[in-house]
Structure 1
Amino acid sequence: MTPGARVQAAAEILDEILGGVAAEKALTGWARRSRFAGSKDRAAVRDHVFQALRCRRSYACLGGAQTGRALMLGALRAEGRDPAEVFTGEGHAPSALSEAERAAGHVPEALGDRFDLSDWMIPCFEGALGEAWGDTAKALTERAPVVLRVNLRKATGASAMAALAEEGVDATPAEISGTALMVHEGARRVAGSRAYREGLVELQDGSSQAAMERLAVPKGARVLDYCAGGGGKTLAMAASAEARWFAHDAAPQRMRDLPARAGRAGVNVTLLKGAAGTGPYDLVLCDVPCSGSGTWRRTPDAKWRLTPEGLAGLTKTQAGILDEAAALVADGGRLAYATCSVFREENEAQVSEFLSRNPAWRTEGQYRWPVSAQGDGFFLAILAR
């Protein structure tokens, strides 16, 4: 595909997404229909689409409309490129610009346009982050880092880096966590590498790794990952602690890959069909469903799907999960509450409300990790009975 053809494909996919189709579904559908597209073409189109979604409001201003074509026009203008060089109509490139399109577009001025947020979110960002809210919003318009976790059961940082380098993956230690490696080149080779297949490394965000390092797991403890999903946080804890590991999720299909991942990592994890009556546990981790606002670099369409009503529904769900999980914690045990959100409503306020409902509990520590070059936005609270 020519560069222009890639832009045209991205514009068509963006129109589907703007029409309500989930980004991953739209991209997968295009790839299936476009067998001619090679792996580099698919990667380039995906990058175009995701960047346009990260910067949807500002690109729409620059492009003059909320359409896939206008977003790609705005993307080129944001890069300082002349769109006429790409919008030529040749070789499956977008058709030439009309006079109206040449004249359309303006510099983003409103806060939501400048920071690529829905207007209602701005007070949430400001209330949670203070003066740093604008820097966080801007960081969410950039591409997310690729971070690996070294599995200390099987490798050291040095041996993992050497194994990755053998297959063209350039990675170096990250400051955010003792097990984190930043990938600089060859990110798309990681999943097929020997280091990954043999369980030396796992893909895991730096902030998530740092949060799991805060959780002290006594030898022989019973540990439950109550909202396990793929089980990455269980495996992170298990890499440096000897305990009995249990995983539960309200949607069990989310755990379908966990047995294979645990086997690769050299960890035994018991999957539970239901958690009620299985306690007590020394540690229960609740990485609850949330807005994901700290991860919108990776899932940019989620930023535009979230509504105030949706956020209110999530906080209600989170409160229910906390109350359910608290009942499974042993006397003297710990309850860890985590989100990948930057919103105070899902973080400090949620913990405060739980403590007001449960006076026998106290906070041992609350931690925030900002959206950064090494990790996503993340929150952790450690609660003790």
Structure 2
Amino acid sequence: MTPGARLQAAIEVLDRVQAGAAPEVALTNWARASRFAGSKDRAAVRDHVYDVLRRWRSCAALGGGDSGRALVLGLLRGRGGDLSLFDGARHAPAPLTAAENAHLAADPDLSEAEALDCPDWLMPDLRAALGADFAPVMAALRHRAPVFLRANLARTDRDGALAALAAEDIGARPHPLAATAIEVTRNARRVRQSRAFGAGLVELQDAASQAVVEALPPLDGLTALDFCAGGGGKALAMAALGAQVHAHDIAPARMQDIPARAQRAGVRVERVAHPAGAFDLVLVDAPCSGSGSWRRDPWGKWTLTRAGLDRLTQTQAEVLAQAAPLVAPGGWLAYATCSLLDAENESSIRQFLDRSPDFTVQSTLRLTPLDGGDGFSLATCRRKT
């Protein structure tokens, strides 16, 4: 595919998203219908689409509308791209119209929310939570997230993982957020097919997520329950640090990959449908807005509503109420979200403590994309004996 044809494909995918399709579904359907597209073409189209999703408002303002064509025009304008690719040749987008040329010739006049690609209704909440970091964090969320790996301590150490990656020409370096964190700097798309990944030396996991596990009480020998395990990333990390880990999720299908991942990693994680008993540590990585990870899932920024946020905070309260009785006396309850919003973090844990006087907060951790990884919040509470 030519560069122009890749832009046209992105336009078509974005039109499907605008019509109501989820981005991943729209991309998958395009790829299935475009057998001529090679792996580099598919990657390029995906990159165009996700670059627009991260910057939807500014792209719409710069391009003159919310159509796929206008959004891609706005993306190119915003980053100084080559507008001459709109020439209609070899499946490229049609030439610019007089109206488009007039819009592109005018000086852009973006509001703060448009320039930072922030929903209007969320600006007060995010500004209150982030303070002076509001604008820098929102600007960071407009860019692609780094690719991070976790050195699997059950198989190797970080130096060993770095050496294995280097042997396969995958550029990587240590990252300061966690002792296991590795940032991929070159050939990131080779990771999943690498021998280092296949042998369980490394796992794909954001550095902030690794920092959350590292901030938990010492795990060696503890019985731990990952109450909202999902794909099991944190469960695997806890097991690699010596915990006896049980994994639970309200939707068990989300955990279907855990056995294969655990086998590759050389650790044991037991899935439980109905957790019972008393655990030394219960980790609640709660369902949340995902605002700290909008670089990876930018469509969530534009589909979140106030009603949706209210439902999430109610769910968080319910999950904490279900998890707390599973903590042994003297044990730990760790509440984490990948959210930047106080409503899902400080407010949620404060309301939980008001209802649960036998728990006290022992430590907290707040991370934003300015720290390098995703935004994360962690409150570690201890149950009284």
What TM-score do the two structures reach when normalised by structure 1? 0.97
| Corresponding residue of 1:233 | 234
Give the match for residue 271 of structure 1.
271
What stretches of structure 1 of length at least 5 have no aligned partner? none
Aligned-pair distance for 1:82? 4.4
Q: Write the distance in 2 (CA, Å) between the matches of 1:82 and 1:183.
A: 29
Correspondence for 1:165? 166
Pairs within 5 Å for 1:32-111: 32-83=32-83, 85-105=84-104, 107-111=108-112
Q: Superposition pairs for residues 1-385 of structure 1, below 5 Å?
A: 1-83=1-83, 85-105=84-104, 107-241=108-242, 243-275=243-275, 278-372=276-370, 374-385=372-383
Q: What CA deviation, in whole Å up to 9, does each residue of 1:194-247 have, x standing for no partner?
A: 110110000000111011001124543211000000110011122122x32100
Aligned residues of 2:220 and 2:241 also touching (Cα < 8 A)? no
Same amino acid, percent of matched pairs? 53
How far, CA to CA, are the matches of 1:20 and 1:384 in structure 2?
A: 44
Taking the aligned partners of 1:147 and 1:366, their CA distance within structure 2 comes to: 23
Task: Indicate conservation of the 8 Å contact 2:238/2:245, yes or no.
Answer: no
Distance 1:332 1:110, change over 3 A: same
1:166 shift after superposition:
2.0
Aligned to 2:120, what secondary structure does the other structure show? Answer: coil
Report the 3-state secondary structure (helix = DSSP H, G, I; strand = E; otherwise coil) of the residue aligned with 1:362.
Answer: strand
Q: Is contact 2:239-2:268 (8 Å) kept? A: no
One-letter amino acid of the counterpart of residue 133, structure 1: F
Between stretches 357-366 and 330-339, larger displacement belongs to: 357-366
| Whole-angstrom CA distance in 1 between matches of 2:101 and 2:154 | 58
Q: 1:108 touches 1:114 (CA, 8 Å); kept in 2?
A: no
Amino acid at match of 1:94: P
Residues in 1 aligned to 2:331 and 2:81: alpha-carbon distance in whole angstroms:
58
Q: 1:218 to 1:36 in 2, by over 3 A?
A: closer
CA drift at 1:372: 3.1
Letter in 2 for 1:127: A
| 3-state SS in 1 of match to 2:126 | helix
**Is the contact between residue 168 and residue 189 of structure 1 (CA under 8 Å) also seen in structure 2?**
no
- Which residue identity does 1:318 align to in structure 2? Q
1:363–1:384 CA contact under 8 A, matched in 2: yes
Per the alignment, in what secondary structure is the counterpart of residue 62 of structure 1? Answer: helix
Q: CA offsets per residue over residues 155-210 of structure 1, 9 Å max, x none? A: 12222112112222111111111101110001000001111011000000011101
How far is 1:373 from its partner?
A: 6.3
C-alpha distance in 1, partners of 2:220/2:51? 45
Q: Helix, strand or coil for the counterpart of 1:144?
A: coil
Q: Distance in 2 between matches of 1:75 and 1:321?
A: 40
Shift of 1:123: 0.6
Inter-partner Cα distance in structure 1 for 2:141 and 2:159: 31
How many pairs are equivalent? 381
Query: Which amino acid is 1:61 matched to?
Result: A
Structure 2 alignment gaps of length 5 or more: none
Contact 1:172 1:183 in 2 (8 A): yes
Residue 248 of structure 2 contacts residue 273 of structure 2 at CA under 8 Å; is this kept in 1? yes
Cα deviation digits, residues 283-327 of structure 1 (max 9, x gap): 000001100000000111111010000000000000000011001
Aligned 8 A contact 1:7 1:45 in 2: yes
Which secondary structure does the structure 2 equivalent of 1:104 belong to? Answer: helix
Q: Shift in Å at residue 108 of structure 1?
A: 4.4
Does structure 2 retain, via aligned residues, the 8 Å contact 1:151–1:202?
yes
Q: Which amino acid aligns with 2:236?
A: L
1:86–1:94 contact (8 Å) kept in structure 2: yes
Structure-2 change in CA distance of 1:357 and 1:373 (3 Å) = closer
Whether the 8 Å contact between 2:155 and 2:200 is mirrored in structure 1 is: yes
TM-score (norm 2): 0.97
Cα gap change, 1:373 to 1:40, in 2 (>3 Å) = farther
Rounded to whole Å, the distance in 2 between the matches of 1:284 and 1:12 is 45
Equivalent-residue separation in structure 2 for 1:46 and 1:270 (angstroms): 36
For 1:328 and 1:255, locate their aligned partners in 2 and report how far apart those are by CA, in whole Å: 20
